[in-house]
C-alpha cells in the first residue's frame, strides 16, 4: 500500500507539473502584451468570460475571469460589451494561437483586475 | 468550441441546456462545489471499504461495514455523475479532447470494472467472514486497485484545467 501511495504521489507531481489550457500555466508571463481596441465579440459566460478584440495587428481572443468575479468587481456584462474600447494587459497563450489571458483590463479609464 | 471534437460533443455544447449552464451566474460554480462535496463523501466511503478489504478495521463485521459504506459511495457517485455532466456540457467539445479528461474517463471505467469484478468474484466470500478473519487475496487486490484508481481519478479531474 505504501508503494501504491508513492506511485500515486509521483503521478500527481508529474501531472501537476504539466501546463494547460485554463490554468495560468499555459500563458507566457515573460512576454506580457497589451491589446487595445474595440471589442468585436463578447461572451459573458462560465467558466470564463471571453472577448475578441481588434488590436493593431490582429484580432485577439482575450480570456477574462469567471463572470461572478467580474461582476463583483464592477466589470459587468455592459462593461465588456461589443463596441466598447478595451485595453487588456495579459499574457499570450503558449497553446492557442492569438489567445491571451488578461491580468487586468481597462474600459472607459477604469481598470479591473481579473486574477 | 472546437469542431475537432466528435459531433455528439459539439451538439451537447450547443444545446440549450449547456448554454443555460454557461449563462447562469451560479449554476456552473454550484455544480463545481457540488462535484467536490460529493467527491469528499465518495472518497471517505471508498477509503473505509478499501481499508476493510486490506484487513484494517479488523474488529468490524465486513458485511455490515461494507454495506453501510457502499450506500454512501453509491449516492456520492450519483452526485458526482450529475454535477460532472453539468460541468462537462458547458465545454463538452474541449473537454472531450482534453487528455487529462480522457485519462480520467478511462480510469473511471477501470474503477467500475474493478467494482464489478469484486461484486461477482469476491463479495460473497468477503461478506461471510467474521470480524478478525483474514481477508482473501482477491479482496486485497480489489482494495489496492480501488484506492489507486480512485485517487488517480481525482488527480486527473483536477488536472483537466491545466491541459
ipTM higher than 0.85? no
Q: Minimal CA–CA distance to B135: which of B150, B120, B123?
A: B123
Decide: A8 and B151 in contact? Cβ < 8 Å.
Answer: yes
* Structure confidence at residue B2 (pLDDT): 77
Q: Is A37 on the interface with B (CB under 8 A)?
A: no
Q: Is B155 on the interface with A (CB under 8 A)?
A: yes
Which residue of A11, A19, A20 is in closest CB contact with B152? Answer: A11
Which residue of A15, A25, A46 is in closest CB contact with B100? Answer: A15
* Structure confidence at residue A4 (pLDDT): 52
**In this predicted model, what pLDDT tens digit does every residue of A59-112 receive, in sequence order?**
999 999 999 999 999 999 999 999 999 999 999 999 889 999 999 999 999 999
- The domain locations on chain A are 27-113
Q: Minimal CA–CA distance to B33: which of B88, B83, B105?
A: B83
pTM: 0.84
Q: Is B102 on the interface with A (CB under 8 A)?
A: no
Q: Do B25 and A23 touch (CB under 8 A)?
A: no
**Disruptive mutation site among A13, A16, A45, A48 for chain B (greatest number of B CBs within 10 Å):** A45
Distant-in-sequence, close-in-space partners of B92: CB < 8 Å, separation ≥ 6 = B5, B9, B10, B12, B13, B18
Decide: A61 and A99 in contact? Cβ < 8 Å.
Answer: yes
Q: What is the DSSP letter of B130?
A: P
Q: Minimal CA–CA distance to A38: which of A88, A83, A89, A78?
A: A83
The better pLDDT of the pair A24, A114 is held by A114
Dig out the grid coordinates for B30 from the structure.
454550484
Q: Is A29 on the interface with B (CB under 8 A)?
A: no
Distance from CA of A70 to the nearest CA of B (A): 11
Instruction: For residues A17 and A39, give the distance between their C-alpha atoms in angstroms, rounded to a whole number.
Output: 34
* Structure confidence at residue B142 (pLDDT): 98
Distance from CA of A38 to the nearest CA of B (A): 22
**In this predicted model, what pLDDT tens digit does every residue of A20-65 receive, in sequence order?**
345 677 899 999 999 999 999 999 999 999 999 999 889 999 999 9
* Structure confidence at residue B4 (pLDDT): 86
pLDDT means per 10 residues, chain B with 163 residues, are: 88 97 95 97 98 97 97 98 97 94 98 98 96 97 98 96 84
The better pLDDT of the pair A5, A92 is held by A92
Query: Nearest chain A Cα to B91, which residue?
Result: A47
Which of the following CATH numbers is that of domain A27-113: 3.30.470.20, 3.90.1520.10, 2.60.120.560, 2.40.50.1010? Answer: 2.40.50.1010
Query: Is the confidence at residue A10, as pLDDT, over 60?
Result: no
Distant-in-sequence, close-in-space partners of B94: CB < 8 Å, separation ≥ 6 = A21, B1, B2, B5
Q: Do B25 and A71 touch (CB under 8 A)?
A: yes
Q: Is B114 on the interface with A (CB under 8 A)?
A: no
Q: Do B22 and A45 touch (CB under 8 A)?
A: yes
Q: What is the DSSP letter of B160?
A: G
Q: Is A94 on the interface with B (CB under 8 A)?
A: no
- The domain locations on chain B are 7-162
Q: Is B26 on the interface with A (CB under 8 A)?
A: yes
* Structure confidence at residue A16 (pLDDT): 44
Q: DSSP letter string over B87-98?
A: HHHHTHHHHHH-
Query: Nearest chain A Cα to B162, which residue?
Result: A20
* Structure confidence at residue B23 (pLDDT): 94
Q: Is A4 on the interface with B (CB under 8 A)?
A: yes
Q: Which residue has the cell 460554480?
A: B29
Q: Do B155 and A4 touch (CB under 8 A)?
A: no
Residues 31-60 in B contacting A (C-alpha not used; CB under 8 Å)? 54
Q: Which residue has the cell 466511503?
A: B45
Amino acid at each position: 500500500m505504501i508503494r501504491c501511495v508513492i506511485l500515486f504521489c509521483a503521478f500527481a507531481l508529474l501531472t501537476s507539473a504539466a501546463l494547460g489550457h485554463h490554468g495560468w500555466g499555459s500563458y507566457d508571463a515573460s512576454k506580457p502584451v497589451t491589446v487595445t481596441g474595440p471589442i468585436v465579440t463578447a461572451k459573458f459566460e462560465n467558466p470564463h468570460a471571453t472577448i475578441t478584440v481588434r488590436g493593431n495587428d490582429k484580432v485577439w481572443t482575450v480570456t477574462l475571469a469567471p463572470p461572478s468575479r467580474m461582476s463583483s468587481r464592477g466589470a459587468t456584462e455592459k462593461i465588456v460589451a461589443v463596441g466598447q474600447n478595451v485595453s487588456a494587459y495579459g499574457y499570450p497563450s503558449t497553446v492557442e494561437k492569438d489567445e491571451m489571458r488578461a491580468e487586468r483590463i481597462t474600459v472607459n479609464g477604469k481598470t479591473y483586475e481579473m486574477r | 468550441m472546437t469542431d475537432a471534437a466528435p459531433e455528439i460533443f459539439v451538439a451537447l455544447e450547443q444545446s440549450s441546456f449547456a448554454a443555460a449552464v454557461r449563462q447562469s451566474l451560479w449554476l456552473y460554480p454550484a455544480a463545481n462545489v457540488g462535484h467536490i462535496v460529493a467527491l469528499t463523501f465518495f472518497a471517505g466511503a471508498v477509503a473505509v471499504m478499501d481499508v476493510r478489504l486490506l484487513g484494517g478495521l479488523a474488529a468490524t463485521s465486513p458485511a455490515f461495514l461494507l454495506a453501510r459504506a457502499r450506500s454512501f459511495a453509491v449516492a456520492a457517485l450519483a452526485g458526482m455523475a450529475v454535477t460532472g455532466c453539468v460541468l462537462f456540457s458547458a465545454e463538452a467539445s474541449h473537454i472531450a479532447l482534453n487528455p487529462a479528461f480522457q485519462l480520467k474517463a478511462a480510469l473511471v471505467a477501470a474503477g467500475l470494472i474493478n467494482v464489478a469484478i469484486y461484486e461477482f468474484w469476491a463479495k460473497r466470500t468477503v461478506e461471510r467472514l467474521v470480524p478478525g478473519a483474514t481477508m482473501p487475496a482477491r479482496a486485497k487486490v480489489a482494495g489496492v486497485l480501488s484506492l489507486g484508481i480512485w485517487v488517480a481519478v481525482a488527480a486527473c479531474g483536477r488536472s483537466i484545467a491545466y491541459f
